[in-house]
Chains A and B, each alone.
Chain A
């Protein structure tokens, strides 16, 4: 049981490049989330999805896009990378209706834009 798997773990991008951060979960969770964590800050919600085919913006969606074609996968797309997107990105999931357990997080992708 792998939980939430994120790839890659590290990446360096040049300004203006694009990339996709991959996230997959094998727990049949319906809700999935993308957060970013900047140094000394809490986690900020970028996008989330309540099920396949449904996505919505969080607190800091600008510069990102997502899709949810399957229950398992929730990729995050960065178009035209900017230094302000240097951060650690976490994907998380939860099965709604199951109280008390919180999200399951992936181990993160550390992205540097230079």
Chain B
């Protein structure tokens, strides 16, 4: 029973274009959402987060959108760069500091 789902295992985009990574969740108790980026042979690194009181959060080229009614969030990367090529994990929690439930990840490839 996956509470956090990333239905696209991979995504390929051209450098300079927008990358959109999607995530769906089922537990209505989740109110804090995070995106992590992972390079091979490294641990995940925190990228951006959003709480349920917001529907958008921006940090430079990265924007996370939250649609609570649809239980859906997305990460937009604009413009995409080859260094963004990595696996991106969506994670959800009922509150800051609580256990995180992770999705299965989306492998992003940004082609030069």
Contacts and interface: CB of A to CB of B under 8 A. Distances in A.
A31 B96 CA distance: 11
Nearest to A96: B97
Interface stretch (A12-20, A62-70, A77-85, A98-106): A98-106
A107 interface: yes
Interface string B4-17: 10100100000000
B43 A48 contact: no
B49 A100 contact: yes
A42 B4 contact: yes
A31 B41 contact: no
A94 B4 contact: no
Contacts, number: 61
Given A42-B4, A42-B105, A105 B44 contact: yes
A2 to B, nearest CB: 13
B96 A90 contact: no
B97 A40 contact: no
13 contacts: A4-B43, A33-B100, A41-B104, A42-B103, A44-B102, A48-B99, A58-B99, A96-B97, A99-B49, A99-B96, A100-B49, A101-B49, A107-B41
